[in-house]
């Protein structure tokens, strides 16, 4: 087995101080997101979404953030997928942005709800055509016996909608996660990391508090 015990490095790129914290967490999130984009890192909008099944078993997977505002984050998925079915049973959700190369993480806790049909239609038709076909071809999280079946289905859908507009699948949509807690983590030397947590009281964000690393 690979010895991972000594795989470590010291985080020295930056720090996070109380004076740098804005009133609303989305302002710092947006600043960090832009720095991630400017750094040319892959998938700066990649976010780990964690949900829980009926037995309390957590599941995590990476999706792409596709919209946000000062109160919510938006992503899209197959509505028959494991995550969508788990959200249907329990809308509580965790979303983690793992910006390792900038020695940062941002975690959002909140509740997910379906987007409106108008929002789903608008985004679906903004996607590349082949991505729209891919949404039709894959019944996400369902068992499939071979990749060949997936590729054959893709070609079938591509032929079916050849030359015309691709309709929104009834089994595809989006979720808006209205968050009430946001935690920022900035790596520091000697494991003395900076952590700050924002919590919402009604419609007001309380003053962020420092957490021990």
Q: Please list the active-site residues.
A: 191
For residues 33 and 55, give the distance between their C-alpha atoms in angstroms, rounded to a whole number: 35
Start-to-end CA span in the chain (Å): 29
For residues 60 and 67, give the distance between their C-alpha atoms in angstroms, rounded to a whole number: 20
Closest CA to 16 of 148, 209, 203, 195: 195
Q: How many C-beta atoms surround the C-beta of residue 11 within 10 A?
A: 19
Tell me the backbone φ, ψ of residue 31, rounded to 5 degrees: -60, -45
Give the 3-state secondary structure of residue 78. strand
For residues 107 and 179, give the distance between their C-alpha atoms in angstroms, rounded to a whole number: 10
Under 8 Å between Cβ of 43 and 93: no
Give the 3-state secondary structure of residue 106. strand
For residues 213 and 197, give the distance between their C-alpha atoms in angstroms, rounded to a whole number: 12
Q: Name the β-bridge partners of 78.
A: 172
């Amino acid at each position: 087995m690979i010895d991972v015990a000594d795989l470590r490095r010291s985080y020295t790129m930056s720090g996070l101080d109380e004076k740098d914290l804005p009133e609303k967490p989305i302002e710092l999130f947006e600043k960090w997101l832009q720095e991630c984009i400017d750094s040319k890192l892959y998938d700066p909008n990649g976010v780990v979404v964690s949900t829980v099944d009926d037995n309390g078993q957590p599941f995590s997977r990476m999706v792409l953030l596709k919209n946000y505002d000062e109160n919510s984050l938006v992503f899209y998925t197959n509505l028959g997928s494991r995550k969508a079915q788990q959200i249907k049973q329990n809308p509580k959700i965790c979303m983690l942005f793992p910006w390792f190369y900038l020695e940062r993480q941002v975690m959002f806790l909140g509740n997910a709800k379906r987007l409106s049909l108008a929002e789903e239609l608008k985004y679906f038709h903004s996607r590349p055509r082949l991505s729209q076909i891919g949404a039709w071809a894959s019944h996400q999280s369902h068992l499939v016996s071979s990749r060949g079946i997936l590729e054959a289905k893709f070609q079938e859908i591509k032929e079916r909608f050849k030359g015309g507009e691709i309709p929104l699948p009834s089994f595809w949509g989006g979720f808006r996660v209205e968050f009430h807690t946001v935690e920022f983590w900035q790596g520091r030397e000697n494991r003395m990391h900076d952590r700050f947590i924002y919590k919402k009281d009604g419609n007001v964000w309380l003053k962020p508090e420092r957490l021990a690393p």
